[in-house]
């Protein structure tokens, strides 16, 4: 399953980059990432960076998250977070607009792990089932997450038991995403 996730993420990222090339004649661009170091940066124009995804230069996993919480994470979570460095990517899943989260650099990957630990600790305190966020929505109190118990992709209201299943697994979710550039 984790290889399916890596392939599905790479395929979506390719679709995203191609949509940018068709729209703007360049790779993806971001003002928000201007001035933030990353091996993904191709060029800087004004206060905008053009980027392309890059593989991790070292073997990366979410083992630090697992150790911190004494939990085993879904293999698909490792595949999603540790297979590439890239900018966050706006996308659509059916009629839902979202921003797929990615690590921008290896330093950013450390921050992502810290945020995942914080998210999981909050869920444990509230006696909620463990999830790992994958994407943000316009309503900042809602996120798209991977359920660590079932492997399903869910839309959840942060800090509550409100969840709805969007996809039976992460690979299927990524395959259904459409770039929103």
Per-10-residue mean pLDDT, the chain, length 181: 88 98 95 95 94 87 93 94 96 97 95 95 95 96 96 95 96 98 91
Q: Which of 116, 111, 112, 108 is nearest to 68 (CA)?
A: 116
pTM for this one? 0.94
The pLDDT, as a whole number, for residue 108 is 95
The pLDDT, as a whole number, for residue 169 is 97
The pLDDT, as a whole number, for residue 1 is 56
CATH annotation of 2-179: 3.40.1580.20
Domain boundaries, the chain: 2-179
Query: How many whole angstroms separate alpha carbon 168 and alpha carbon 129?
Result: 17
Q: Which of 10, 2, 3 is nearest to 174 (CA)?
A: 10
62 contacts 39 by C-beta, under 8 angstroms: no
Query: How many whole angstroms separate alpha carbon 25 and alpha carbon 48?
Result: 15
């Amino acid at each position: 399953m984790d290889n399916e996730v890596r392939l599905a993420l790479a395929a979506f990222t390719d679709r995203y980059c191609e949509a940018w090339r068709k729209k703007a004649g360049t790779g993806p661009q971001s003002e928000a990432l201007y001035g933030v170091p990353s091996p993904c940066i191709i060029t800087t124009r004004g206060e905008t960076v053009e980027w392309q995804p890059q593989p991790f230069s070292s073997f990366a996993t979410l083992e630090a998250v697992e150790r911190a919480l004494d939990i085993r994470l879904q293999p698909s979570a490792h595949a999603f977070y540790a297979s590439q460095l890239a900018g966050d990517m706006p996308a659509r899943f059916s009629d839902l607009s979202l921003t797929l989260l990615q690590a921008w650099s290896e330093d950013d990957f450390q921050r992502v792990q810290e945020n995942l630990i914080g998210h999981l600790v909050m869920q444990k305190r509230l006696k909620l089932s463990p999830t790992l966020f994958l994407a943000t929505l316009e309503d900042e109190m809602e996120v798209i997450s991977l359920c660590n118990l079932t492997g399903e992709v869910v839309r959840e209201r942060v800090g509550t038991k409100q969840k709805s299943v969007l996809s039976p697994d992460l690979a299927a979710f990524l395959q259904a995403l459409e770039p929103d550039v």
